[in-house]
């Protein structure tokens, strides 16, 4: 149990010299310690990389006209000064802020800002001390430090997600406050993604249920408690207010005051859902925070850059993966009579139909056998899904599990019909896309997407549509890179593939 919490009634500071109260959520402390160590080692490796690649002993961080004895100073700067300076800049740019760690792109942006700050710092120091530095050496050190740091943080995130999925450790224990429907909606979202680090343990309703109203929830439900004592009782460390309608404005402000000095976190969930990233801006007007929601970026230079990068990556991928493609084609040909490739009409960008390329994973009479299996369909949407589909060949099961059957779609990407990342193209008619589902067609379909890293065939149709629409509304190049990175681990784990 936590100690007794006695918060101030109106949030007035007790002393100008009082130390900040430690946060009740402590998962980030060992995580930050490991990040500092990884970042230090990454910067040290960057210095060693520059020495190995550019022979900086002769043209590196030192003044070549300096007298003997500089070598010792150079070694000290390379092995200690650069790592310490890099970790200090990361800290100054907020790269160890617990609110940015573990998920999302904000942490990565802050690491990027630290690399820019490092370039500026080195330039100013060189100017101030009148040192003639090798520009190439500086570029290599900064780029290598950025690469090694991002790699270390991706590794740390993978470990953190694994720990969080394994029993909810290293997560914040959250009390959900609001209407039951809003609280359950947030509960579904955070439990669907345990890697986000939020673990709801209770719900507090602002009003008593109506007579005869049924209250059913997967966690205990409380009514009529003061929130701060309730948090102490259930040993939570975070209060999440589910939607601005859950509390009156003055109640929310008073709650924020009461939490001062307690070490508890307060999270307010807006009613605007599935909108993230640069589309959201907070603009204060006379003390009233206005949430501006911009239109999704569905045109312009970003989309052009995505198209160009897609085609270049597809061309390089087809060349590098040609041995895999040829081996897969030969395995299909030797194990089952019939064509190696399977081409089927799919609906793509803006409702335009195209022929998708895939390795054949079913017997040649699969379409004729489909009607006899309709009553065994395990999907609740437009697609037919069946875990033990008898139409799939033995080699086809392995290809589907590793998504190797999708590799020929790099041809579609090269032709501009598909993208590396986007909603999956479905074997349906254009007329089947009605209502909100039609927004899937505002971007090019992809080889992989949010559905692939979030459950694949295990998802319900509603969840798949929700993820596709979320991608359409919030896509960015950084988002695409994150999806591609996570696709590798999902495919290797064979989750949801059949």
Structural domains in the chain, CATH included, are 28-165 (no CATH), 172-271 (3.40.50.720), 301-493 (no CATH)
- At 381 the pLDDT is 59
- Summarize pLDDT for 52-73 with one digit per residue, the tens: 776 544 544 444 444 443 456 6
61 within 8 A of 79, measured Cβ to Cβ: no
- At 13 the pLDDT is 52
User: pLDDT-based confidence at 494, cuts 50/70/90?
Assistant: low
**Which of the two residues, 423 and 301, has the higher pLDDT score?**
423
Q: Which range among 143-147, 158-162, 190-194 shows the weakest confidence by mean pLDDT?
A: 190-194
DSSP state of 433: -
**Which of the two residues, 186 and 459, has the higher pLDDT score?**
186
- Summarize pLDDT for 353-386 with one digit per residue, the tens: 899 999 998 888 777 777 777 777 666 556 667 7
Task: Work out the average pLDDT over 109-120.
Answer: 90
Listed in order, strand segments (DSSP E) in 254-376 are 265-269, 280-285, 288-293, 341-347, 353-359
On average, the pLDDT of the chain sits at: 80
Say which residues have a Cβ less than 8 Å from residue 328's Cβ, sequence separation at least 6: 359, 399, 404, 407
Instruction: Report the percent of the chain where pLDDT is more than 90.
Output: 21
Q: What is the H or E stretch that residue 137 is in?
A: helix 135-165
Task: Work out the average pLDDT over 178-188.
Answer: 86
Provide the CB-side half-sphere exposure for 126 (13 A, CA). 16
- At 273 the pLDDT is 64
- At 491 the pLDDT is 76
What's the 3-state SS for 151-210?
Answer: HHHHHHHHHHHHHHHCCCCCCEEEEEECCHHHHHHHHHHHHHCHHHCEEEEEEEECCCCC
Residue keyed to tokens 């520009």: 135
In the predicted model, is pLDDT for residue 99 greater than 90?
Answer: no
- At 287 the pLDDT is 65
- Summarize pLDDT for 311-368 with one digit per residue, the tens: 999 999 999 999 999 999 999 988 888 889 988 888 888 888 899 999 998 888 777 7
User: pLDDT-based confidence at 261, cuts 50/70/90?
Assistant: confident
- At 7 the pLDDT is 47
DSSP state of 425: P
Tell me whether strands 419-421 and 446-448 are parallel, antiparallel or unpaired.
Answer: parallel
- At 265 the pLDDT is 87
- At 72 the pLDDT is 60
DSSP state of 80: I
**Which of the two residues, 40 and 468, has the higher pLDDT score?**
40
Q: How far is residue 331's CA from residue 319's CA, in Å, rounded to a whole number? A: 19
Q: How far is residue 375's CA from residue 354's CA, in Å, rounded to a whole number? A: 29
Task: Work out the average pLDDT over 263-289.
Answer: 72
Q: Which range among 287-296, 345-354, 476-485 shows the weakest confidence by mean pLDDT?
A: 287-296
Provide the CB-side half-sphere exposure for 395 (13 A, CA). 18
In the predicted model, is pLDDT for residue 309 greater than 90?
Answer: yes
Please give the model's pTM, rounded to 2 decimal places: 0.66
- At 87 the pLDDT is 93
Question: What six digits make up the tokens of 4?
Answer: 């007794």
Residue 173, phi then psi, degrees to nearest 5: -90, 120
Q: How far is residue 61's CA from residue 42's CA, in Å, rounded to a whole number? A: 18
- Summarize pLDDT for 383-424 with one digit per residue, the tens: 667 777 788 888 888 888 888 889 999 999 999 999 999 998
- Summarize pLDDT for 68-98 with one digit per residue, the tens: 434 566 667 778 888 999 999 999 998 998 8
In the predicted model, is pLDDT for residue 456 greater than 70?
Answer: no
The CA distances from residue 475 to 120, 182, 222, 258, 426, in Å, are 31, 26, 39, 38, 20
267 within 8 A of 227, measured Cβ to Cβ: no
- At 42 the pLDDT is 92
83 within 8 A of 43, measured Cβ to Cβ: yes
């Amino acid at each position: 149990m936590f100690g007794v919490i006695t918060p101030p009634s109106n949030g007035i500071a007790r002393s100008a010299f009082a130390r900040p109260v430690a946060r009740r959520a402590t998962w980030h402390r060992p995580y930050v310690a490991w990040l500092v160590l990884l970042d230090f080692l990454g910067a040290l490796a960057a210095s060693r990389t520059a020495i190995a690649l550019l022979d900086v002993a002769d043209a590196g961080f030192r003044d070549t006209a300096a007298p003997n004895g500089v070598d010792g100073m150079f070694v000290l700067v390379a092995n200690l000064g650069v790592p310490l300076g890099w970790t200090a800049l990361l800290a100054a740019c907020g790269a160890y802020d617990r609110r940015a760690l573990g998920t999302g792109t904000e942490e990565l942006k802050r690491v990027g800002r630290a690399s820019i700050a490092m370039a500026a710092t080195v330039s100013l120091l060189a100017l101030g001390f009148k040192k003639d530095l090798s520009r190439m050496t500086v570029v290599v050190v900064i780029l290598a430090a950025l690469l090694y740091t991002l790699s270390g943080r991706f590794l740390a995130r993978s470990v953190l997600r694994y720990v969080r999925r394994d029993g909810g450790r290293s997560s914040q224990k959250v009390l959900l406050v609001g209407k039951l429907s809003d609280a359950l909606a947030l509960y579904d979202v955070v439990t669907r993604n345990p890697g986000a680090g939020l673990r709801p343990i209770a719900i507090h309703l602002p009003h008593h249920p109506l007579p005869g109203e049924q209250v059913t929830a997967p966690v205990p439900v409380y009514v009529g408690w003061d929130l701060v004592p309730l948090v102490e009782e259930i040993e939570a460390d975070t209060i999440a207010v589910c939607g601005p309608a859950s509390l009156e404005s003055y109640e929310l402000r008073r709650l924020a005051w009461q939490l001062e000095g307690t070490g508890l976190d307060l999270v307010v969930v807006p009613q605007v859902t599935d909108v993230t990233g640069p589309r959201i801006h907070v603009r204060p007007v006379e003390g009233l925070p206005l949430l501006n929601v911009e239109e999704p970026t569905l045109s312009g230079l970003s989309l052009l850059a995505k198209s160009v990068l897609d085609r270049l990556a597809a061309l390089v991928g087809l060349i590098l993966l040609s041995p895999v493609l040829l081996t897969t084609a030969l395995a299909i040909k030797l194990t089952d009579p019939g064509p190696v490739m399977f081409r089927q009409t799919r609906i793509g960008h803006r409702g335009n139909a195209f022929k998708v390329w895939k390795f054949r994973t079913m017997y040649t009479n699969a379409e004729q056998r489909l009607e006899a299996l309709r009553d065994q369909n395990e999907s609740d949407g437009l697609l037919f899904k069946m875990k033990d589909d008898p139409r799939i060949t033995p080699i086809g099961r392995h290809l589907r599990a590793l998504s190797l059957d999708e590799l020929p779609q790099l041809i579609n990407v090269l032709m501009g019909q598909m993208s590396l990342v986007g909603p999956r193209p479905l074997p349906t008619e254009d007329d089947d896309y009605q209502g909100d589902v039609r927004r899937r067609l505002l971007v090019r379909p992809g080889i992989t997407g949010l559905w692939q890293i979030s459950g694949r065939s295990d998802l319900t149709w509603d969840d798949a549509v929700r993820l596709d629409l979320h991608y359409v509304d919030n896509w960015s190049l950084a988002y695409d890179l994150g999806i591609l990175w996570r696709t590798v681990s999902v495919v290797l784990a064979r989750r949801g593939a059949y």
